[in-house]
């Protein structure tokens, strides 16, 4: 059964399309100290401020800072949402009264990531007057410092998208501005990547990038019905496959629901941790 999409600020993969388009605030970072932005195999963090607050917004977005408050991500336990640093957390906190600080206890709800330090010689942190000074000495002694992501933090996609813009095939006959915007503007992590089908095995940034990069398929080769023997599906998928119009996309199926009921989307599920986000997205945009 497909789950509902999420409009929560820190949503990932299951975001509703409007939410994913309106707030491109997610990025992927590695476990270096300070962390660096990567495309895959890292952790998802919120890296910008929803509210522009003087003194916080700029510090939230500072890159490659060795300062502890700037460089160490924090994870909000309840929603399992990670922020790039303390400042990104504070400028994005929202409650019913729209105040900056939450009503709940900060120490119980938000935890900074730990550090792992590798040095040739033992250095006793008790001898240093401040954490900043301790970090400075570690760097001077060429110690290796890594971040240890919190167990509740979310991993980035492990597969690198090959197609991130529309019409790389040159075969998109009827351009759609909304599909193009969704493909190119939604940043990684907000929707799952998707693999091509049939005669194409490229990996697309999201389902919209798949839709706007069609391959050359003749109409008679398009699969327009559900083969019930292949996979058990909900009635809505079978009806949607047959009743909804042909959506030109990079596959040999009439539309995404025909993919679903013929079993291909199920195979993609296992790689993407869920079909619901792009099924819901397509339904809402049709």
pLDDT in tens, 218-241: 666 788 888 765 556 667 778 888
pLDDT at residue 270 is higher than 50: no
Say whether both 139 and 246 belong to one domain.
no
Does residue 98 or residue 207 have the better pLDDT?
207
Specify whether the CB–CB gap between 111 and 96 falls below 8 A.
Answer: no
Q: Roughly how many angstroms between the first and final C-alpha of the chain, as a whole number?
A: 19
Say whether both 182 and 260 belong to one domain.
yes
How many Å apart are CA 198 and CA 201, to the nearest integer? 7
Confidence of residue 66 (pLDDT cuts 50, 70, 90): low
Closest CA to 234 of 285, 192, 275, 191: 275
What mean pLDDT comes out for the span 49-54?
A: 76
Q: Looking at residue 113, what is its pLDDT?
A: 95
CA angle, 13 as apex, 9 and 17 as ends, to 5°?
65
Name, of 65-74, 78-87, 91-100, the range with top average pLDDT: 78-87
Q: Looking at residue 286, what is its pLDDT?
A: 35
Q: Is residue 55 part of a domain?
A: yes
pLDDT at residue 91 is higher than 90: no
Tell me the whole-structure pTM to 2 decimals.
0.69
Mean pLDDT (the chain) is: 77
Specify whether the CB–CB gap between 95 and 135 falls below 8 A.
Answer: no
Please provide residue 61's backbone torsions phi and psi, each rounded to the nearest 5 degrees. -95, 0
Say whether both 265 and 211 belong to one domain.
yes
Say whether both 259 and 189 belong to one domain.
yes
What mean pLDDT comes out for the span 163-179?
A: 89
Say whether both 255 and 138 belong to one domain.
no
Confidence of residue 284 (pLDDT cuts 50, 70, 90): very low
Q: Looking at residue 190, what is its pLDDT?
A: 74
Say whether both 203 and 112 belong to one domain.
no
| Collapsed DSSP state (helix, strand, coil) of residue 176 | coil
What mean pLDDT comes out for the span 145-150?
A: 93
User: How many domains in the chain?
Assistant: 2
Q: Looking at residue 267, what is its pLDDT?
A: 54
Closest CA to 269 of 195, 199, 215: 195
How many Å apart are CA 212 and CA 185, to the nearest integer? 13
Say whether both 42 and 81 belong to one domain.
yes
What mean pLDDT comes out for the span 143-172?
A: 89
Does residue 249 or residue 85 have the better pLDDT?
85
Specify whether the CB–CB gap between 39 and 160 falls below 8 A.
Answer: yes
Confidence of residue 275 (pLDDT cuts 50, 70, 90): very low
Q: Looking at residue 96, what is its pLDDT?
A: 32
Confidence of residue 101 (pLDDT cuts 50, 70, 90): very low
Say whether both 89 and 198 belong to one domain.
no
Say whether both 62 and 108 belong to one domain.
yes
How is 59-89 classified by DSSP, letter by letter?
HHH--S--SHHHHS-EEETTTTEEESSHHHH
What mean pLDDT comes out for the span 251-269?
A: 72
Q: Looking at residue 84, what is its pLDDT?
A: 92
Which residue range is the domain that position 72 belongs to? 17-148
pLDDT at residue 41 is higher than 70: yes
CA distances from 30 to 162, 188, 268 (A): 20, 15, 25
Q: Looking at residue 167, what is its pLDDT?
A: 93
Q: Contacts for 84-87 with beta carbons within 8 Å, 24 or more apart?
A: 84/27, 84/29, 84/35, 84/45, 84/46, 84/47, 84/60, 85/59, 85/60, 86/112, 87/56, 87/57, 87/59, 87/60
CA angle, 216 as apex, 210 and 220 as ends, to 5°?
110
Say whether both 135 and 188 belong to one domain.
no
Q: Looking at residue 266, what is its pLDDT?
A: 53
How is 235-263 classified by DSSP, letter by letter?
HHHHHHHHHSPP---SSSBSSHHHHHHTT
Q: Looking at residue 68, what is its pLDDT?
A: 79
Q: How many CB atoms lie within 10 A of CB 8?
A: 13
């Amino acid at each position: 059964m497909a789950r509902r999409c999420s409009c929560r600020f820190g949503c990932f993969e299951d975001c509703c399309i409007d939410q994913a388009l309106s707030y491109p605030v997610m990025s992927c970072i590695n476990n270096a100290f300070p962390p660096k932005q990567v495309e895959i195999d890292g952790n998802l963090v919120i890296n910008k401020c929803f509210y522009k607050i003087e003194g916080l917004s700029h510090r939230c977005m500072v890159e490659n800072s060795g300062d502890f408050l700037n460089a160490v991500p924090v994870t909000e336990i309840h929603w399992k949402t990670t922020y790039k640093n303390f400042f990104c957390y504070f400028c994005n906190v929202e409650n019913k009264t729209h105040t900056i600080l939450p009503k709940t206890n900060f120490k119980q709800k938000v935890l900074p990531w730990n550090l792992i330090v590798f040095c040739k010689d033992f250095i006793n942190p008790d001898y240093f007057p401040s954490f900043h000074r301790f970090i400075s000495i570690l760097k001077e002694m060429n110690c290796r410092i890594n971040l240890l992501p919190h167990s509740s933090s979310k991993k980035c996609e492990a597969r690198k998208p090959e197609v991130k813009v529309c019409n790389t095939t040159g075969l998109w006959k009827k351009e759609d501005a909304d599909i193009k915007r969704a493909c190119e503007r939604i940043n990684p992590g907000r929707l799952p990547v998707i693999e091509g089908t049939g005669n194409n095995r490229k990996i697309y940034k999201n389902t919209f990038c798949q839709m706007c990069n069609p391959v050359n398929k003749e109409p008679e080769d398009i699969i327009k019905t559900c083969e019930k023997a292949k996979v058990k599906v909900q009635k809505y998928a079978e009806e949607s496959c047959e009743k909804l119009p042909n959506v030109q996309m990079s596959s040999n199926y009439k539309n995404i629901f025909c993919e679903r009921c013929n079993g291909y989307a199920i195979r993609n599920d296992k790689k993407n941790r869920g079909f619901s986000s792009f099924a819901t997205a397509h339904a809402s945009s049709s």
